Structure 1
Amino acid sequence: MKLSFKQLLVLVLVAGLFSCKDQKSDSSESTGALERNLVVDLTDTGIQIQPTMYGIFFEDINFAADGGLYAEMIKNRSFEFTLPKTGWVEPNSDRHSYNNESGILSVIKYSEEGTNHNFARVEVKDDEGYVLINEGFRGMGVKEGAQYDFSVNAAKRSGDIQKIKLQVIDSLDNVLGETVVSPDSDSWKTYESTFTVNKSEMKAKVKITFQGEGEIDLDMISLFPQDTWKGRKKGLRKDLVQLLDDLNPGFLRFPGGCIVEGRTLARRYQWKKTVGDIEDREILVNRWNTEFAHRPTPDYYQSFGLGFFEYFQLSEDMGAEPLPILGCGIACQFNTGELVPMDELDPYVQDALDLIEFANGDTSTAWGQVRADMGHPEPFNMKYIGIGNEQWGPAYIERYKVFEKAIKSEYPEIIIVSGSGPFPEGDYFEYGWEQLKQMNAEIVDEHYYKPPEWFRENADRYDSYDRNGPKVFAGEYAAQTVAIASPENKNNWESALSEAAFMTGLERNAEVVHLTSYAPLMAHADGWQWTPDMIWFNNLESFGTPNYQVQKMYSTNPGTDLLKITEDGDKIIGKDGLYASTVKDSKTNELIIKIVNTSEQNQNLSIQVEGGSITDNVSVLTMGMDDLEAENSFEEPMKISPKEGTASVNGDVLEAEIPSMTFSIYKISM
């Protein structure tokens, strides 16, 4: 049959229409998107999300306290390190333009007993100007236009030292800011001065010059930025606390971690030595100083300028429950495992009772008065206390029973956190849980550092836990991309996404899991020992890792009541890489759905809401990255972070497009 041109044209157009139709109908198939139908049930489950569900675990590892959160810039300010001149340099004339033959530095022990053992004696032989340099914590970060407070305790011993000049200098000895104090007493006296820095510098140092001749004694040489958290004098580094406060934490667990136990009992953390006047807080070698051959840090000490009072105060600032952890008379079992004999345990138990009095007692009590003298007459209203960190075996259970009996006898309202050891499975874990369950323990602390795939595969970990047994504190967890404590571990997107998937299981089991926290919290870019870590910082900057951003998405959207989300009646735990949990917030009357897609396929979800009604007012936060190896950095601190998105609601159905390798939160008004 011969066709006219007009007929041929019609056939071509029709064929084109069918071709376009076929391409459109196959679009989801060609992009690999899965079509799935989920159901959210608004019926009350009777399970509440605890206000403590998402919190913070702080340990002084990776220079997180001195050199980090605690804003002091002078290292070894009171000459208390084992090598007491650590951090201090007497410059040689062949390296600098000044001649240090004009003086000498000696470290002297106080004759009387006390917690501040040493001071420095400087002898200035001529008026050319004797010089000391302090290197800070891997340098000192100073900011242009910012003000800094210098203070020093001094006593003139002989002769006439007329001036002590402090200068902040860069690597070329350029002066970035300076001030002078004039000592005028032969008795100990504190001299203070404030100055402004004229240029920002990441790795500045402090140069101290003495003018005049004679001998002068020095102690507590200190330099702080004025712009601290809440403007507190000699306080905390503002940007780091802001990152913590932005997490909206339900609790703050402190001070660790393995530093609670110490390598030996003599080097354990003793809270009473961290309160009172700062100059009277006895310094301690940090247990992480030479723990790892790949990152030895022999200059790592604890000044305890950030002590128990400051931890309680920080908890209060952030609206977080304070959760102190105390040693139970066992040194770190990975080190010495040194034990206090049972008949010598009383002082350790008394420390726990006295801590409760310090936190909660009124001013008629001895330790309540100590707190009041530090500026906080009102109680901190502590509700929790932890006994032991990662101890295991019969020795721990035997000692824990003594603590529990004493605490409950005097303070029955205090909730005690116990521990199941350092591993999430195995003999130690099974024994600990068995014993603690028989004792009707209230909360058991579990720790797990595992590969990313473990977190994806164990999102159902708590589904089978006894609903009537002890509650769980997931107190330390983080995905290890290489191996536990490997220096090659990365805070990459795969680790964070896997943790997000696992956390849907924590939330889904809120009946059992009452507290959770990532660990470790912070790391100095030039001073770390352990990776990965949630927050990285240098002397001037800080950023949250993708893991931080995941934690923040959960902790700022916790909800108040657990709801059910299912597919074909089943929980959503990893089928085709999809994980989900959902809560409602009774305060804001919102439905909050958390969806994690760990697969390489996009997934189109139709989420039917039953048992109530929703509006079309929906907000979306989505965080994702095609590159699972991607990380945030100082150069790109928000490379992987939540972005606002859109979704549509048709009647009682939420239509959600879930890209591959993403974590999304949908908030819908009910």
Structure 2
Amino acid sequence: MKTPRLIAACSLLLGVYAAPLAAQQPLNFTVKSSEIKTAVSPNMWGIFFEDINLSADGGIYAELVKNRSFEFSTPLMGWSIPKEAAAGGQVLIVNRREADAANPRFAKVTVTGTRNFALVNEGFRGMGIKAGEQYNFTVYARQQRATPVQLTVTLLDESGKAIGSTTVSPTGNSWQQYKGSFTAAATVPRAKLQVEFSGPGVVDVDMISLFPQHTWKERPNGLRADLVQLLADLHPGFLRFPGGCIVEGKELTNRYQWKKTVGDVNERTVIINRWNNEFAHRAAPDYFQSFGLGFFEYFQLSEDIGASPLPILNCGMACQFNSGEVVAVNELDPYIQDALDLIEFANGDVTTKWGALRSKMGHPAPFHLKMMGVGNEQWGPQYVERYTIFAKAIKDKYPDIKLVNSLGPSPDGDKFTFLNDTLRKLNADILDEHYYSAPEWFLSNAARYDSYDRKGPKIFAGEYAAHNKAVANGGNKNTWQCALAEAAFMTGLERNADVVVMASYAPLLAHVDGWQWAPDLIWFDNLRSYGTPNYYVQKLYANNKGNSVVPIVKDNQPISGQDSVYASAVVDNATGELVVKLVNAASTPKPVAVSIQGAKNIATTGRLITLQSNDLQELNSLDQPTRISPEEKSIAIKGKTIRTEIAPWSFYVIRTKIK
């Protein structure tokens, strides 16, 4: 994810009004169902996760308390002292950096006894609370005087009314975790958490936390179930994490360091999120990374949703759009060791140092890591120099690990050409191409990979999205126009599955009140979430992936924009079905006749799944989450020909049994 050159969004002038339908001749397509072109990679359609748009803290990570350990640059950011409670005591933030460098700060609360003292946490743009849901509160605390201080924990709605409460009574003068639970009495989209201290006395508190009981798989320190379910429903082939520019940092001190995101949650080092002020029009000075969602949780999430993990590691280079800082080549060893140790963390035996940590965290079995990215969107000779050193070290020890390599932020230009030529000569495994552009670009590039070298490196379409306005413009929307153009482009990715082995839309998630970049695949607020039209395009491809690409042609040529129609076809061996994908990018209907060659005993009916809108600017929303979503019905098949009329501005998936 970058802020690259602006690309002017073009209006999508799709199709020319044709003669009346009665006079139209059908477009005659042929599917050669027994002529297998190539296998489809099991990783073909995946997802790209980056902590942008409040994707992690405030998003998929279900923690409701912001700045729970007082480690933000302003220690009480997210916290306030109610006016009526201020006279009851005070709070002092203590820094114990030499004793605990990972989590140095805690709050020392003094209660005078004349009245109670309180701290209120605002959450991430509020706290989404559901009536009848159990909420679990935890805190690390220690008493400093013989007279103990008691904590009363209360959820407050927008008006300040209590909607759930529990008490916690810390004892002893050593740090311990204390717990309390309660059930919410009301549904509130922007609640707050009040922690009231009654004394007199002095108590130290840290890691003040609140989670819903119902997280994904009911895990403590877990993930938000509705968002993970949307990901699981995609049936993704891979999960790329943690980014994105998050990997690089604005400077190297702000880079993502995976070793600081594993182990006990209260020992993970909080850092500022590099997206907190990247865009002046969407500044988020309270955007930090707690790393409650760390590398262990990413691997676990990958396993949960059936996706191969694809971690991306810093290669000794900060973001070149920011500082452009690089580590000296002779000081790369710690960065390379991080890569080698990550493989051990993911795959190593429990007797190894990092395999033992994985086991201690609850996963003795390996995560079966097979691929890794070296750098994010780097470019230039400095990247090649560092990649070469990384590749040798990793391949020498782990020759089976496939490496994903950057081709820079754009799909063309001098930066792209230099890397593409150089990395091909170095026999790189997988080249990562990114494209954020206008819908018209995607339509005109559906044949991009038809002429790629079949013997060269494989391609990862690692980040892409159609933008209806200039890239990095705050006005971009997830319109049907954009989703339709992506569907057309993806026919070319699928048709060339011998070259393109992975593809993922980006970014993945966005909070409606806390986003920095648009468009995004899934939008959410504190209680609700929805998939965009682009999401349903991705879902239809991933859920209808098949195993083998077969040709679908018109006049013996791939169908890639002729008559504004785009097409691809695969065979699903598991179900014995032919799967045909058709996109009509025109404003008029297109009658088609798809002749199936090389198959016997073709079923007389099939399934037709459609995604369509008569308005190119139409959107889904929190209030209308499925305005544009797939509809399914049966379709008749006569002889060996599928006849249908592709509606204007539509994406069709047709499945039929063949033998």
Report the TM-score range of the alignment, normalised by the length of the smaller protein: over 0.9
Q: 2:558 aligns with which of 571, 575, 599?
A: 571
Please name the residue that 1:100 is paired with.
86
Alpha-carbon separation, structure 2, partners of 1:291 and 1:151:
33
Alpha-carbon separation, structure 2, partners of 1:73 and 1:550:
32
Do structure 1's residue 659 and structure 2's residue 631 form an aligned pair?
A: no
Alpha-carbon separation, structure 2, partners of 1:113 and 1:507:
51
Please name the residue that 1:84 is paired with.
75
> Residues 209-220 of structure 1: matches in 2 within 5 Å?
209-220=196-207
Offset at 1:171? 1.7
Alpha-carbon separation, structure 1, partners of 2:314 and 2:416:
19
Alpha-carbon separation, structure 1, partners of 2:275 and 2:24:
48
Do structure 1's residue 69 and structure 2's residue 55 form an aligned pair?
A: no
Please name the residue that 1:22 is paired with.
none
Deviations 1:349-400 (A, max 9, x none): 0000000000000011111001011011111110001000000000000000
Please name the residue that 2:33 is paired with.
42
Do structure 1's residue 57 and structure 2's residue 48 form an aligned pair?
A: yes
Do structure 1's residue 423 and structure 2's residue 410 form an aligned pair?
A: yes
Q: 2:126 aligns with which of 123, 139, 148?
A: 139
Q: 2:489 aligns with which of 482, 496, 502?
A: 502
Distance 1:607 1:78, change over 3 A: same
Offset at 1:513? 0.0
What secondary structure, in the 3-state scheme, does the structure 2 residue paired with 1:305 have? Answer: coil
Deviations 1:24-43 (A, max 9, x none): xxx98257855211110012
Alpha-carbon separation, structure 1, partners of 2:627 and 2:242:
31
Offset at 1:157? 1.1
What secondary structure, in the 3-state scheme, does the structure 2 residue paired with 1:348 have? Answer: helix
Q: Give the ranges of 4+ consecutive aligned residues of structure 1 lying more than 4 Å apart after TM superposition.
A: 30-34
CA contact (8 A) 1:449 1:480 kept: yes
> Residues 481-496 of structure 1: matches in 2 within 5 Å?
481-496=468-483
Whichever residue aligns with residue 651 of structure 2, its letter is F
Alpha-carbon separation, structure 1, partners of 2:445 and 2:429:
23
Do structure 1's residue 270 and structure 2's residue 289 form an aligned pair?
A: no
CA contact (8 A) 1:526 1:538 kept: yes
Q: 1:109 aligns with which of 95, 116, 131?
A: 95
Whichever residue aligns with residue 140 of structure 1, its letter is M
Whichever residue aligns with residue 84 of structure 1, its letter is P
Alpha-carbon separation, structure 2, partners of 1:505 and 1:650:
28
Please name the residue that 1:294 is paired with.
281
Q: 2:179 aligns with which of 185, 188, 192?
A: 192
Deviates more, 1:645-654 or 1:154-163: 154-163
Do structure 1's residue 151 and structure 2's residue 138 form an aligned pair?
A: yes
Do structure 1's residue 632 and structure 2's residue 632 form an aligned pair?
A: no
Deviates more, 1:660-669 or 1:152-161: 152-161
Deviations 1:554-580 (A, max 9, x none): 000000000000111111111121000
Whichever residue aligns with residue 155 of structure 1, its letter is R
Offset at 1:413? 0.7
**Unpaired runs of 5+ in structure 2?**
1-17
Alpha-carbon separation, structure 1, partners of 2:453 and 2:530:
39
Deviates more, 1:609-618 or 1:322-331: 609-618
> Residues 123-138 of structure 1: matches in 2 within 5 Å?
123-138=110-125
Do structure 1's residue 205 and structure 2's residue 205 form an aligned pair?
A: no
Distance 1:156 1:32, change over 3 A: farther
Whichever residue aligns with residue 121 of structure 1, its letter is K
Whichever residue aligns with residue 239 of structure 2, its letter is L
Offset at 1:125? 1.1
Deviates more, 1:510-519 or 1:153-162: 153-162
Deviations 1:571-602 (A, max 9, x none): 11111210000000111110000000010110
Do structure 1's residue 322 and structure 2's residue 309 form an aligned pair?
A: yes
Please name the residue that 2:425 is paired with.
438
Please name the residue that 1:641 is paired with.
629
Alpha-carbon separation, structure 2, partners of 1:35 and 1:560:
29
What secondary structure, in the 3-state scheme, does the structure 2 residue paired with 1:167 have? Answer: strand
Please name the residue that 1:588 is paired with.
575
CA contact (8 A) 1:32 1:601 kept: no
Alpha-carbon separation, structure 1, partners of 2:599 and 2:302:
38
CA contact (8 A) 1:32 1:602 kept: no
What secondary structure, in the 3-state scheme, does the structure 2 residue paired with 1:71 have? Answer: coil
Whichever residue aligns with residue 50 of structure 1, its letter is S
Alpha-carbon separation, structure 1, partners of 2:417 and 2:484:
29
Pair member with larger Rg = 1
Offset at 1:616? 1.2
Offset at 1:161? 3.5
CA contact (8 A) 2:37 2:551 kept: no
Alpha-carbon separation, structure 1, partners of 2:457 and 2:46:
19
Offset at 1:159? 5.1
Please name the residue that 1:24 is paired with.
none
Please name the residue that 1:19 is paired with.
none
Whichever residue aligns with residue 62 of structure 2, its letter is A
Deviates more, 1:158-167 or 1:131-140: 158-167
Percent of aligned pairs with the same amino acid? 53
Please name the residue that 1:547 is paired with.
534
Alpha-carbon separation, structure 1, partners of 2:637 and 2:152:
68
What secondary structure, in the 3-state scheme, does the structure 2 residue paired with 1:390 have? Answer: coil
Offset at 1:335? 0.3
Q: 1:620 aligns with which of 608, 613, 637?
A: 608
Alpha-carbon separation, structure 1, partners of 2:650 and 2:23:
15
Deviations 1:324-360 (A, max 9, x none): 0001001000000101111000110000000000000
CA contact (8 A) 2:35 2:551 kept: no
Q: 1:249 aligns with which of 236, 243, 267?
A: 236
Whichever residue aligns with residue 145 of structure 1, its letter is G
- Structure ranking higher on relative contact order (CA contacts 8 Å, 6+ apart): 2
CA contact (8 A) 2:250 2:323 kept: yes
Whichever residue aligns with residue 375 of structure 1, its letter is G
Do structure 1's residue 284 and structure 2's residue 271 form an aligned pair?
A: yes
Whichever residue aligns with residue 358 of structure 1, its letter is F
What secondary structure, in the 3-state scheme, does the structure 1 residue paired with 2:551 have? Answer: strand
Offset at 1:163? 1.5
What secondary structure, in the 3-state scheme, does the structure 1 residue paired with 2:280 have? Answer: coil
Offset at 1:261? 0.3
Do structure 1's residue 598 and structure 2's residue 585 form an aligned pair?
A: yes
Alpha-carbon separation, structure 2, partners of 1:31 and 1:334:
55
Alpha-carbon separation, structure 2, partners of 1:631 and 1:119:
45
CA contact (8 A) 1:144 1:198 kept: yes
Alpha-carbon separation, structure 2, partners of 1:457 and 1:104:
64
Please name the residue that 1:239 is paired with.
226
Please name the residue that 1:6 is paired with.
none
Number of equivalences: 639
Could you state the TM-score of these two structures normalised by the residue count of structure 1? 0.94
Offset at 1:160? 2.2
